[in-house]
Amino acid sequence: MNDEKLNISNQSYPSVSIITTIDFLYRSNQLFKRLKKLSEVAVNSGAVLVISHNERESSCDKKLHEWYKQQDKTKIILITSKYDIHQVNNALLRNVALHKISTPRAILMDVDIACSPNKINYMVKSQENEKPIVILPCFYLTQAGTKYILRGGAYSEIINDFFLYRRKYVLHLAMPSSFCIFNVKKAIEIGGFYEGYLGHGYEDLDFLIRMASHYKLLQLDEKITIDVPYRAPLLAEGFRAQLAKLCLDSLLEKQFVFHLFHKKNSTDPYYRQRINNKEKFLKRTSSLVSQNTDEVTEHRADLISTFFEICSKKKINSEDFFACFDARPRSLLRNSLLRNLKEQIARKSGRTI
């Protein structure tokens, strides 16, 4: 079982809803299976699962309605809308849920996310401790890692492997991720999710930046408009570095969620939309910077400095987390692993290589 090494609380948190979206335009059978898995986590955590669904009258839409008939309506709420749109719009579906739920807090959780009910417990307690928004780092899993989790493998094994520089199960560690908890009323006040994003990407980052800036948790300066990908989460730049600072407490407590692998076809319209979404995102963040009236601090601590400061403050050995600085490409990691394996075999046979 995934949770055999975790201490799952039986305490119920009816003050929190888990928002997930479902649109069967792509990957319909896989999404439906993963939605059912997610529902088990939500129910066992004591949270209310709110499924915001765009109806396309497909066979999986019918399966969803049949499945929902068997569920406890006090624990799982299905909100079905019918938008005649040519592409997936997760921002729109999340806004529908935001305006329908009655709990003061909400957690964003995509159907591809795997975690234990204990993580919901952790999120709620973290926000109760006066953290206005909590974001967990997310391991993006390989096919091997996904099979391992779906067959009941322990989450702790994947975490331990990553910090031992093993990459069999992990593609990369995302900091930030979209797995977050926030105040519903505040989310509505800032305008919820921007519905101009279609297809894949950026609607969650846009939301997180506006929420974090609302609470003065990040600085709206020119760095927030820098959109540079990273291989190592603690070497992030631009807005990713600022948002990653909000994940450091969770990182140092080794509180993670896991993104299950799925195939991506970069030629699909869903993924091609990411280019358009990036342009919209950069225009919107540039507008936020230009409209900002708060004083800009010239020497605000960067991500790396903040990491070492928190480690020192909490008396945590920073070296235990140096895997988060490992920016080697996967090809080099594979070659290194093969080399180590050959050396182990040679030592056992008394040969040298």
> Which phi-psi region, left, alpha or beta, contains residue 139 (left: φ > 0; alpha: ψ -120 to 50)?
beta
Calculate the alpha carbon distances from 87 to 82, 99, 171, 278 in Å. 13, 22, 27, 16
The rounded distance, in Å, linking the Cα atoms of 210 and 237 is: 18
pLDDT band with cut points at 50, 70 and 90 for residue 8: very low
Instruction: Express each pLDDT in 243-267 by its tens digit.
Output: 999 999 999 999 999 999 999 888 8
Q: Which pLDDT tens digit goes with each residue over 213-249?
A: 999 998 888 899 999 999 899 999 999 999 999 999 9
Provide the CA 59 distance to its chain's centre, in angstroms. 29
Tokens 């990459």 belong to residue: 167
Average of per-residue pLDDT values in the chain: 89
Residue 331: pLDDT band (50, 70, 90) is: low
CB of 292 closer than 8 Å to CB of 209: no
Question: Any bridge partners for residue 170, and if so which?
Answer: 141
Q: Check residue 292 and give left, alpha or beta (phi > 0: left; psi -120 to 50: alpha).
A: beta
CA-based end-to-end distance of the chain: 40
Whether the pTM exceeds 0.85: the reply is: yes
pLDDT bracket for residue 13 (50, 70, 90): very low
pLDDT the model gives residue 266: 83
Cβ–Cβ < 8 Å for 36, 67:
yes
Confidence label for 30 from pLDDT (cuts 50, 70 and 90): very high
Q: pLDDT tens across 106-133, in order?
A: 999 999 999 999 999 999 998 877 788 9
Query: What sign does the dihedral 332-335-341-343 (CA atoms) show?
Result: negative
Domains and CATH numbers, the chain: 16-349 (3.90.550)
Residue 15: CB atoms within 10 A of its CB come to 15
